[in-house]
Amino acid sequence: MMNDETDKKKRAITPLSFLGSLFAGAFGVQSEANRERDFQHGKFSHFIIGGIIFAVIFVVVVIVIVQVVLKTAGS
C-alpha cells in the first residue's frame, strides 16, 4: 500500500510540471513519458483551461510586440 502512495506522488502532476507540459505541448516537444503522465494523472479540464489562457496570453504578447515594432519603425 505504501508503494502505491509513493508511486502516485512521483507521478502526480505538480503546478510546475503542468506548466512544463503546457509549454512543451504548445511547441510540440512533449516527451512520451510526460504525455502518458498527463493523460493518466492530469485533469482534462485543467489542460483545456491552461491551453486557452496560454493562447490568449500568446496572442496578446504578439500583438504588443508588433505594436512596439511598428511604433519604433514609424519614428
**DSSP-based three-state secondary structure for 42:** coil
Q: CB-based contacts of 31: which residues, under 8 Å, 6+ apart?
A: 24
Inform me whether the pLDDT recorded for 9 exceeds 60. no
pLDDT digits (tens, 9 = 90+) for 16-62: 999 999 999 888 898 899 889 998 998 999 999 999 999 999 999 99
**What is the DSSP-derived secondary structure letter of residue 13?**
P
Band (pLDDT 50/70/90 cuts) for residue 12 is confident
pLDDT of residue 46: 92
* Residue 70: φ, ψ to 5°: -65, -40
How far apart CA 29 and CA 22 sit, in angstroms, is 10
Kindly state the cell numbers that stand for 42.
Answer: 492530469
**Is 49 in contact with 43 (CB distance < 8 Å)?**
no
